[in-house]
Structure 1
Amino acid sequence: MDFTEKRLHEAAIIIDAVCPLLEDQGRIADYRAGGLTAIAPTVGVWDGAMVTLRTIGAWHKLLRERDDLILVRIAADIRKAKALGKTGIIMHFQGPAPIEDSLDLVDAFKALGVGVMQLAYNVKNRLGDGCEERTDAGLSRFGLQVVERMNQARMIVDCSHTGVRTTMDAIEYSSAPVIISHANAKSVYPSPRNISDELIKAIAKSGGTIGVVGFPGFVSGDKRPTIDQFIDHIAYMCDLVGTQYITLGIDYYGGQSPYVDERAATRMYERALANNSWSPKAYPAPPHYYPAGIETPKTMLALTEALLRRGFTAEDIRKIYGENLLRIYENIWGE
């Protein structure tokens, strides 16, 4: 490492748009150690409104108690966090279960600080189909209404884990850009959770972004993927649609190595298979080792070094790390 790499890393606004690892709030320290400016805890996936409200309440309590955290409601909150050396918290739903059957809950959760919601998590729900569902019927009538209400409430539409036709419908009917916060390129590695060139292009055409993910089963067929295999997805999608549409959604989570031992990871994995949220085809059995060098958020500087070695410019890296998502946030949430 030379001084230039460290200086670039420290100066950049770095956003990880998908952070289920933060189910353990103590892991904020790992992201701060890695130089992250803003992080997005998953505050809702399968639970209904009441349980989700408790989760959000716990985050608001933490935000009140800690002076080093800022709730991100608009793009300026992230720039403020960077200027003050604090960490921005972006509340993210990885599925629409918290809104139950009520459009008004979209507005309620937005008022509480939830800025992004996925339309599905792998399987069918009232809005549409997930990417691992047997069918892909597109958005339901309720799904169309939810997208419209999200647009009105200025909540970002996220089509990670969502079926292809459902995603295409969301792009067609949304009046705002649609993002995929975390998915890799199927042309680089054909996981069922990765996305086609056609879909990458459609998201970019909508003005949205695609976040590159570090979960090993989405990076390569290797049990321990390399950092260059992770960057292969970044490079491919940048070549396909342009650097301005690619971001980070690394998706560190609590069942990965080194945060839990293999026995505990296996119990978590078996529960995910049993409730149909995961399938063995998309999610290989643990242990789950994230790309070498960035096994945890603490060592994110290694990604900056590796991107520079691969020929990415400082401007490219600043876009991928934060500026591209800031453009989306300014557009939808406000400056």
Structure 2
Amino acid sequence: MDSIAKRLHEAAIIIDAVCPLLDDTSTISAYRTGGLTAIAPTVGAWYGAGATLRTVGLWQKLLRERDDLILVRTAADIRQAKRLGKIGIILHFQGADPIEDNLDLIDAFKALGIGIMQLAYNVKNRIGDGCEERTDAGLSRFGLQVVERMNQTRMIIDCSHTGVRTTMDAVEHSSAPVIISHANAKSVHPSPRNISDELIKAIAENGGTIGVVGFPGFVSSDKRPTIDQFIDHIVHMCDLVGTQYITLGIDYYNGQFPYMDDATSLKEYEKLIANNSWSPEAYPEPPHFYPAGIETPKTLLALTEALLRRGFTADDIRKIYGENLIRIYETIWGGEAELR
């Protein structure tokens, strides 16, 4: 089994679609050790255009200086990264604050390589409601315009952290598939950040994908969730809509164990609670231990081994690891790589 898993893991295109751990760019090496083909740093979240532009600039500089990295603008860029033994960098926003109230900033950021934007981050914004907001309103008039402009610029609409009605409105009004890059099944573990079977079906029926997330509070009520509890979410969603709609958005972040000491992690957590970015109901107090065996990106081979033990075929695993997202990227971004 180990040798079969290792060969499969090494041959597969593996995409982790949500990687806030990359706020510290030195952690790229951990993803390389874990066999990742493409990774997605969060380059925009709670800040306006100016601060976000500085972060994008830092990544563009890194991409210019490092020959082992490739900026992903098309699906073919990921396949090229795999062929060349490099790592693809997918720039995305977790929230729409970077576009402020200006639709033209969508065009600007897409030109700079931002391929994906979340519509909200837990709370209400100009576009619509977050998933932890007191209300559950749909898209605003501005939100409808944002969806239309994202379609026009071929920027992927991500409804992670987004309210149910806002998400359903995005699915209805978007001319392209809508994704949820990272959320688990509420029927497996009832976190406010997880999503219902109805929503999972709606995303799949629209041609989108749902990424399974490793943040412990979204996996189970256990302080140290097991790898099988993580896979329970994959099994449930695959049984519900099929393996072709499930992906990975593990969401390793710099406040988790072992990247931050417990005292500092608690201070950072309290700030997030105080400013309403997080709620105690969805985000338990740290330390945050990711599922046993895949506590960090370095050991992602353990997931391949565990999925095989649970009866997933090699074809299933290749779809979940990369091919399903590549289908989305080809549909929305296009398939041809840029000349290099």
TM-score after normalising by structure 1: 1.00
- 2 CA distance for matches of 1:229 and 1:81? 31
**Could you tell me how far apart the structure 1 residues matched to 2:113 and 2:26 are?**
20
Please list every run of 5 or more consecutive structure 2 residues that lacks an aligned counterpart in the other structure.
336-340
Amino acid at match of 1:287: P
Shift of 1:2: 2.4
Unaligned 5+ residue runs, structure 1?
none
Q: Equivalent pairs: percent with the same residue?
A: 82
- 1:282-297 residue pairs with structure 2 within 5 A? 282-297=282-297
Deviations 1:193-225 (A, max 9, x none): 000000000000000000000000000000000
CA distance in 2, matches of 1:250, 1:53: 25
Residue 118 of structure 1 is matched in structure 2 by 118
Alignment correspondent of 1:150? 150
Matches of 1:229 and 1:7, distance apart in 2: 25
**Partner SS state of residue 134, structure 2:** coil
Displacement of 1:75 in angstroms is 0.3
Give 3-state SS (helix, strand or coil) of 2:40's partner. Answer: strand
Task: Say whether residues 1:128 and 2:128 are aligned partners.
Answer: yes
Distance in 1 of aligned mates of 2:192 and 2:3: 40
The CA distance in 2 between the partners of 1:73 and 1:94, in whole Å, is 18
Q: Which residue of 2 aligns with 1:41?
A: 41
Report the AA paired with residue 271 of structure 1: K
Partner of 1:313: 313
* Residue correspondence of structure 1 range 230-309 to structure 2 within 5 A: 230-309=230-309
**How many Å apart are 1:82 and its aligned residue?**
0.2
In 2, distance between residues paired with 1:294 and 1:137? 37
- Aligned to 2:276, the other structure's residue is in SS state coil
Structure 2 Cα separation of the partners of residues 2 and 158 of structure 1: 35
Aligned AA for 2:17? A
1:204 aligns with 2:204: yes
Deviations 1:28-55 (A, max 9, x none): 0000000000000000001000000000
Task: After TM superposition, give the deviation of residue 239 of structure 1 in Å.
Answer: 0.2
Q: Hey, what does 1:215 align to over in structure 2?
A: 215
C-alpha separation in 1, matches of 2:98 and 2:14: 28
Which amino acid letter does the alignment assign opposite residue 60 of structure 1? Answer: Q
For residues 176 and 130 of structure 1, the distance between their equivalents in structure 2, rounded to whole angstroms, comes to 21
Find the aligned partners of 2:4 and 2:253 in 1 and give their Cα distance.
31
Distance 1:309 1:266 in 2: 36
2:92 corresponds in structure 1 to: 92
SS of alignment partner, residue 18 of structure 1: coil
| Separation (CA, whole Å) in 1 of partners of 2:299 and 2:3 | 16
Q: Distance in 2 between matches of 1:101 and 1:129?
A: 16
Aligned counterparts of 2:264 and 2:333: Cα–Cα separation in 1: 39
Three-state SS of the structure 2 residue aligned to 1:211 is: strand
Write the deviation string for residues 66-94 of structure 1: whole angstroms up to 9, x where unpaired: 00000000000000000000000000100
Alpha-carbon distance in 2 for matches of 1:140, 1:292 = 41
* Equivalent position SS for 2:283: coil
CA distance in 2, matches of 1:247, 1:304: 13
Q: RMSD of aligned C-alpha atoms?
A: 0.4
Q: Does 1:56 align with 2:56?
A: yes
- Aligned partner of 1:334 in structure 2 is 334
The total of aligned residue pairs comes to 335
AA partner of residue 110 (structure 1): K
Q: CA deviation at 1:137?
A: 0.8
Q: What amino acid is the match of 1:120?
A: A
CA distance in 2, matches of 1:168, 1:5: 38
Aligned-pair distance for 1:294? 0.2
* Runs of 4+ with >3 A deviation: none
Give SS of 1:43's match.
strand
1:105 maps onto 2:105 in alignment = yes
Deviation by residue 1:216-254 (Cα, 9 ceiling, x = unmatched):
000000000000000000000000000000000000000
Query: Which residue type is aligned with residue 152 of structure 2?
Result: Q
* 3-state SS in 1 of match to 2:247: strand
Q: What amino acid is the match of 1:146?
A: V
The residue aligned with 1:75 is 75
Please report how far the alpha carbon of residue 3 of structure 1 lies from its aligned counterpart in structure 2 after TM superposition. 1.5
